[in-house]
Amino acid sequence: GAVVSQHPSRVICKSGTSVKIECRSLDFQATTMFWYRQFPKQSLMLMATSNEGSKATYEQGVEKDKFLINHASLTLSTLTVTSAHPEDSSFYICSALENRGTQPQHFGDGTRLSIL
């Protein structure tokens, strides 16, 4: 089945650091990738949608300059949390869509980000 690799799985860093999270589709080309944020005991909140070679579409309330998304190829999207602060601590999950229609999104295993 389709596999999405997300790296790193866990990050602990100091306030003010920028953190990059990678999302790769390993055995398929992803036309679209999505980035979600999940707070403890809550649902997944869509942050942005990225398409290869074009600018990401951010959801309302998500700071574009804070959460930089680059979709450089059909198999790789990156999320960079710039100048991270403790309130950015959360669980970030990416997903990738191979084709539209009935194909479901394939999720990465998530990244737990802790900002000290």
Partner 1 sequence: AQTVTQSQPEMSVQEAETVTLSCTYDTSESDYYLFWYKQPPSRQMILVIRQEAYKQQNATENRFSVNFQKAAKSFSLKISDSQLGDAAMYFCAYRGNRDDKIIFGKGTRLHILP
Q: Can you give the binding site for partner 1, defined by CB under 8 A?
A: 32, 34, 38, 42-44, 46, 49, 91, 93, 95, 97, 100, 102, 104-105, 107, 109-110
When the beta carbons of 13 and 44 are compared against partner 1, the nearer one is 44
Euclidean distance between CA atoms 26 and 3, whole angstroms: 6
Q: Least CB distance from residue 114 to partner 1, whole Å?
A: 14
Torsion angle (degrees, nearest 10) of CA 69, 110, 92, 104 = 70
When the beta carbons of 83 and 103 are compared against partner 1, the nearer one is 103
When the beta carbons of 14 and 104 are compared against partner 1, the nearer one is 104
